[in-house]
Amino acid sequence: PVTAVIVVAAGSGQRLGYGMPKAKVPLGGDSILTHALRGVAAAGLAQQICVAIPPGDADLRALCQAFEQELTAGHGRLPAPADGVQPPVVTIVDGGASRAASVRAALAALLPATEAVLVHDAARALTPEAVFHRVSHALAAGALAVIPVIPVVDTVKTVEPTTGDGAAIAPELVTGTAARETLRAVQTPQGFELATLLRAHEAAEGLDAGQAAGVTDDAMLVELLGVPVHAVRGASQSLKITTPLDLIIAEGLLEGPLG
Protein backbone atom coordinates (compact mmCIF):
# COMPACT_ATOMS: atom_id res chain seq x y z
CA PRO A 1 0.00 0.00 0.00
CA VAL A 2 1.03 3.61 -0.54
CA THR A 3 2.33 4.43 2.93
CA ALA A 4 2.96 7.65 4.82
CA VAL A 5 4.79 7.88 8.13
CA ILE A 6 3.69 10.72 10.41
CA VAL A 7 6.35 11.76 12.93
CA VAL A 8 4.90 13.85 15.76
CA ALA A 9 7.58 16.19 17.11
CA ALA A 10 5.55 19.22 18.23
CA GLY A 11 5.72 18.64 21.98
CA SER A 12 7.48 20.99 24.38
CA GLY A 13 9.46 18.40 26.34
CA GLN A 14 8.46 19.62 29.81
CA ARG A 15 9.47 16.43 31.60
CA LEU A 16 12.89 16.25 29.91
CA GLY A 17 13.42 19.78 31.19
CA TYR A 18 15.89 21.16 28.61
CA GLY A 19 13.90 24.37 28.13
CA MET A 20 13.53 23.60 24.43
CA PRO A 21 11.29 21.33 22.35
CA LYS A 22 12.36 17.73 22.96
CA ALA A 23 12.88 17.15 19.22
CA LYS A 24 15.88 19.54 19.35
CA VAL A 25 17.60 17.99 22.36
CA PRO A 26 21.02 16.52 21.48
CA LEU A 27 21.44 12.74 21.45
CA GLY A 28 24.77 11.23 20.41
CA GLY A 29 25.84 14.35 18.46
CA ASP A 30 22.57 14.77 16.52
CA SER A 31 19.10 15.83 17.64
CA ILE A 32 16.38 13.47 18.84
CA LEU A 33 14.34 14.34 15.72
CA THR A 34 17.21 13.59 13.32
CA HIS A 35 17.63 10.13 14.87
CA ALA A 36 13.90 9.51 14.61
CA LEU A 37 13.75 10.61 10.96
CA ARG A 38 16.78 8.48 9.99
CA GLY A 39 15.11 5.48 11.60
CA VAL A 40 11.96 6.05 9.55
CA ALA A 41 13.97 6.44 6.34
CA ALA A 42 16.09 3.36 7.06
CA ALA A 43 12.92 1.26 7.34
CA GLY A 44 12.30 2.21 3.71
CA LEU A 45 8.54 1.74 3.63
CA ALA A 46 7.25 5.32 3.24
CA GLN A 47 6.42 7.29 0.12
CA GLN A 48 5.92 10.33 2.37
CA ILE A 49 7.29 11.37 5.77
CA CYS A 50 5.10 14.05 7.36
CA VAL A 51 6.62 15.78 10.39
CA ALA A 52 4.61 17.87 12.88
CA ILE A 53 6.85 20.48 14.55
CA PRO A 54 6.09 23.23 17.07
CA PRO A 55 4.37 26.05 15.12
CA GLY A 56 6.88 28.50 13.68
CA ASP A 57 9.99 26.65 14.93
CA ALA A 58 12.57 27.68 12.32
CA ASP A 59 15.33 25.41 13.74
CA LEU A 60 13.24 22.27 13.45
CA ARG A 61 12.00 23.28 10.00
CA ALA A 62 15.66 23.67 8.88
CA LEU A 63 16.49 20.32 10.49
CA CYS A 64 13.72 18.60 8.49
CA GLN A 65 14.93 20.27 5.31
CA ALA A 66 18.49 19.09 5.99
CA PHE A 67 17.11 15.58 6.47
CA GLU A 68 15.36 15.82 3.09
CA GLN A 69 18.75 16.68 1.53
CA GLU A 70 20.26 13.63 3.25
CA LEU A 71 17.59 11.43 1.70
CA THR A 72 18.55 12.51 -1.80
CA ALA A 73 22.31 12.43 -1.23
CA GLY A 74 22.65 9.37 1.01
CA HIS A 75 24.18 9.64 4.46
CA GLY A 76 25.74 7.19 6.92
CA ARG A 77 23.26 4.36 7.48
CA LEU A 78 21.05 5.79 4.71
CA PRO A 79 22.15 4.62 1.28
CA ALA A 80 21.60 6.98 -1.64
CA PRO A 81 18.41 5.99 -3.44
CA ALA A 82 18.90 3.51 -6.29
CA ASP A 83 18.44 4.75 -9.86
CA GLY A 84 14.78 5.36 -10.58
CA VAL A 85 13.74 5.01 -6.92
CA GLN A 86 12.21 8.18 -5.52
CA PRO A 87 13.15 9.06 -1.93
CA PRO A 88 10.13 9.80 0.26
CA VAL A 89 8.56 13.24 0.09
CA VAL A 90 9.16 15.18 3.32
CA THR A 91 6.23 17.38 4.44
CA ILE A 92 6.47 19.73 7.42
CA VAL A 93 3.33 20.87 9.26
CA ASP A 94 2.66 22.98 12.34
CA GLY A 95 1.61 20.72 15.22
CA GLY A 96 -1.26 21.42 17.60
CA ALA A 97 -1.80 21.88 21.32
CA SER A 98 -2.15 18.14 21.97
CA ARG A 99 -0.50 15.08 20.44
CA ALA A 100 -3.83 14.16 18.81
CA ALA A 101 -4.10 17.65 17.29
CA SER A 102 -0.58 17.28 15.88
CA VAL A 103 -1.57 13.95 14.32
CA ARG A 104 -4.66 15.58 12.80
CA ALA A 105 -2.58 18.41 11.32
CA ALA A 106 -0.33 15.82 9.68
CA LEU A 107 -3.27 13.73 8.42
CA ALA A 108 -4.56 16.83 6.63
CA ALA A 109 -1.27 17.09 4.68
CA LEU A 110 -0.97 13.51 3.36
CA LEU A 111 -0.66 12.86 -0.37
CA PRO A 112 -4.02 11.96 -1.97
CA ALA A 113 -2.87 8.43 -2.97
CA THR A 114 -2.07 7.44 0.64
CA GLU A 115 -3.61 4.11 1.72
CA ALA A 116 -1.79 3.29 4.96
CA VAL A 117 -0.29 5.49 7.65
CA LEU A 118 2.15 4.84 10.48
CA VAL A 119 2.08 7.34 13.35
CA HIS A 120 5.39 7.58 15.19
CA ASP A 121 6.64 9.60 18.18
CA ALA A 122 9.84 11.53 17.48
CA ALA A 123 10.60 10.81 21.14
CA ARG A 124 11.01 7.09 20.24
CA ALA A 125 14.13 8.08 18.35
CA LEU A 126 15.91 4.69 18.42
CA THR A 127 13.09 2.44 17.21
CA PRO A 128 14.62 -0.46 15.24
CA GLU A 129 13.72 -0.94 11.57
CA ALA A 130 12.32 -4.38 12.40
CA VAL A 131 9.49 -2.82 14.40
CA PHE A 132 8.44 -0.68 11.43
CA HIS A 133 8.49 -3.81 9.30
CA ARG A 134 6.40 -5.89 11.73
CA VAL A 135 3.74 -3.15 11.84
CA SER A 136 3.77 -2.70 8.09
CA HIS A 137 3.54 -6.47 7.42
CA ALA A 138 0.46 -6.78 9.64
CA LEU A 139 -1.18 -3.94 7.68
CA ALA A 140 -0.30 -5.64 4.39
CA ALA A 141 -1.85 -8.85 5.79
CA GLY A 142 -5.17 -7.05 6.24
CA ALA A 143 -5.12 -5.42 9.69
CA LEU A 144 -6.88 -2.04 9.95
CA ALA A 145 -4.91 -1.12 13.07
CA VAL A 146 -1.60 -2.44 14.46
CA ILE A 147 0.46 -1.46 17.48
CA PRO A 148 3.89 -2.60 18.72
CA VAL A 149 3.86 -3.77 22.35
CA ILE A 150 6.20 -5.16 24.98
CA PRO A 151 5.42 -7.14 28.15
CA VAL A 152 5.06 -5.17 31.37
CA VAL A 153 7.80 -5.95 33.91
CA ASP A 154 6.30 -4.22 36.94
CA THR A 155 3.22 -5.36 38.80
CA VAL A 156 0.54 -2.76 38.03
CA LYS A 157 -2.10 -1.70 40.55
CA THR A 158 -5.01 0.73 40.44
CA VAL A 159 -5.30 3.29 43.23
CA GLU A 160 -7.59 6.05 44.45
CA PRO A 161 -6.84 9.06 46.67
CA THR A 162 -7.12 8.20 50.35
CA THR A 163 -10.02 9.90 52.11
CA GLY A 164 -10.88 10.30 55.79
CA ASP A 165 -8.56 8.93 58.52
CA GLY A 166 -6.45 6.95 56.04
CA ALA A 167 -5.11 10.18 54.55
CA ALA A 168 -2.83 10.61 57.57
CA ILE A 169 -1.18 7.27 56.76
CA ALA A 170 -0.59 7.49 52.99
CA PRO A 171 -1.94 9.54 50.06
CA GLU A 172 -3.36 6.62 48.07
CA LEU A 173 -5.23 3.38 48.65
CA VAL A 174 -4.92 0.33 46.36
CA THR A 175 -8.15 -0.70 44.65
CA GLY A 176 -6.88 -3.68 42.66
CA THR A 177 -4.09 -5.53 40.87
CA ALA A 178 -4.15 -6.04 37.11
CA ALA A 179 -3.25 -9.52 35.78
CA ARG A 180 0.26 -8.78 34.54
CA GLU A 181 0.41 -11.49 31.87
CA THR A 182 -2.46 -9.77 30.04
CA LEU A 183 -0.85 -6.29 30.14
CA ARG A 184 1.31 -4.74 27.42
CA ALA A 185 3.19 -1.45 27.26
CA VAL A 186 2.38 0.25 23.98
CA GLN A 187 4.85 1.89 21.62
CA THR A 188 4.94 3.51 18.20
CA PRO A 189 4.90 3.36 15.18
CA GLN A 190 1.20 2.53 15.23
CA GLY A 191 -0.10 1.53 11.80
CA PHE A 192 -3.54 2.10 10.32
CA GLU A 193 -5.54 1.81 7.17
CA LEU A 194 -5.88 5.52 6.41
CA ALA A 195 -9.69 5.70 6.26
CA THR A 196 -9.94 3.99 9.67
CA LEU A 197 -7.58 6.47 11.34
CA LEU A 198 -9.33 9.43 9.72
CA ARG A 199 -12.68 8.16 11.01
CA ALA A 200 -11.21 7.66 14.51
CA HIS A 201 -9.85 11.20 14.65
CA GLU A 202 -13.11 12.67 13.33
CA ALA A 203 -14.97 10.89 16.15
CA ALA A 204 -12.39 12.19 18.66
CA GLU A 205 -13.20 15.78 17.81
CA GLY A 206 -16.54 15.23 19.59
CA LEU A 207 -14.84 14.35 22.92
CA ASP A 208 -15.03 16.88 25.78
CA ALA A 209 -11.83 18.47 27.10
CA GLY A 210 -11.51 15.96 29.97
CA GLN A 211 -11.86 12.95 27.67
CA ALA A 212 -9.53 14.53 25.08
CA ALA A 213 -6.82 14.93 27.74
CA GLY A 214 -6.97 11.16 28.33
CA VAL A 215 -6.19 10.34 24.69
CA THR A 216 -2.57 9.13 24.81
CA ASP A 217 -2.34 7.19 21.55
CA ASP A 218 -4.10 6.75 18.22
CA ALA A 219 -5.08 3.12 18.72
CA MET A 220 -7.40 3.99 21.62
CA LEU A 221 -9.44 6.17 19.26
CA VAL A 222 -9.73 3.25 16.85
CA GLU A 223 -10.73 0.98 19.76
CA LEU A 224 -13.58 3.40 20.53
CA LEU A 225 -14.90 2.72 17.01
CA GLY A 226 -15.00 -0.99 17.81
CA VAL A 227 -12.36 -1.81 15.18
CA PRO A 228 -9.96 -4.64 16.18
CA VAL A 229 -6.43 -3.48 17.03
CA HIS A 230 -3.69 -6.06 16.43
CA ALA A 231 -0.51 -6.18 18.51
CA VAL A 232 2.95 -7.12 17.21
CA ARG A 233 6.24 -7.32 19.11
CA GLY A 234 7.86 -3.96 19.87
CA ALA A 235 11.40 -3.45 21.18
CA SER A 236 12.95 -2.16 24.38
CA GLN A 237 15.16 0.20 22.29
CA SER A 238 11.93 1.95 21.25
CA LEU A 239 11.67 3.58 24.68
CA LYS A 240 10.03 6.99 24.64
CA ILE A 241 12.64 9.53 25.71
CA THR A 242 10.57 11.32 28.35
CA THR A 243 12.76 11.99 31.40
CA PRO A 244 16.48 12.74 31.93
CA LEU A 245 16.98 9.06 32.88
CA ASP A 246 15.58 7.99 29.48
CA LEU A 247 18.08 10.25 27.71
CA ILE A 248 20.94 8.59 29.60
CA ILE A 249 19.63 5.18 28.52
CA ALA A 250 19.33 6.34 24.89
CA GLU A 251 22.93 7.67 24.95
CA GLY A 252 24.02 4.31 26.34
CA LEU A 253 22.20 2.44 23.57
CA LEU A 254 23.96 4.54 20.93
CA GLU A 255 27.37 3.83 22.46
CA GLY A 256 26.64 0.15 22.87
CA PRO A 257 24.88 -2.37 20.66
CA LEU A 258 23.26 0.21 18.36
CA GLY A 259 26.21 2.56 17.91
Residues that bind ligand CTP (CB under 6 A): 8-15, 22-23, 52, 95-99, 102, 121-123, 240, 242
Of the CA atoms within 13 Å of residue 239, those in its CB half-sphere come to 17
Query: Closer CB to Mg ion, residue 94 or residue 129?
Result: 94
Residues 10-49 contacting Mg ion, CB under 5 A:
11
Residues 6+ apart with CB under 8 A from 101: 95
| Helix, coil or strand: residue 52 | strand
Closest contact distance (angstroms) between CB of 98 and ligand CTP is: 5
**What does 9 bind: Mg ion, ligand CTP, none (CB cut-off 5 to 8 Å by kind)?**
ligand CTP
User: Does an H or E element contain 60, and which?
Assistant: helix 58-73
Query: Closer CB to ligand CTP, residue 22 or residue 134?
Result: 22
Closest contact distance (angstroms) between CB of 233 and ligand CTP is: 21
Whole-angstrom distance, CA of residue 166 vs CA of residue 180: 27
What is the pairing mode between strands 30-31 and 3-8? unpaired
Closest contact distance (angstroms) between CB of 133 and ligand CTP is: 21
Query: Closer CB to ligand CTP, residue 123 or residue 222?
Result: 123
User: By Cβ distance, which residue is nearest to Mg ion?
Assistant: 11
Do 127 and 39 form a contact (C-beta atoms < 8 A)? yes
Other beta carbons within 10 Å of 118: 26
Query: Closer CB to Mg ion, residue 11 or residue 234?
Result: 11
Residues near Mg ion (CB under 5 A) are: 11
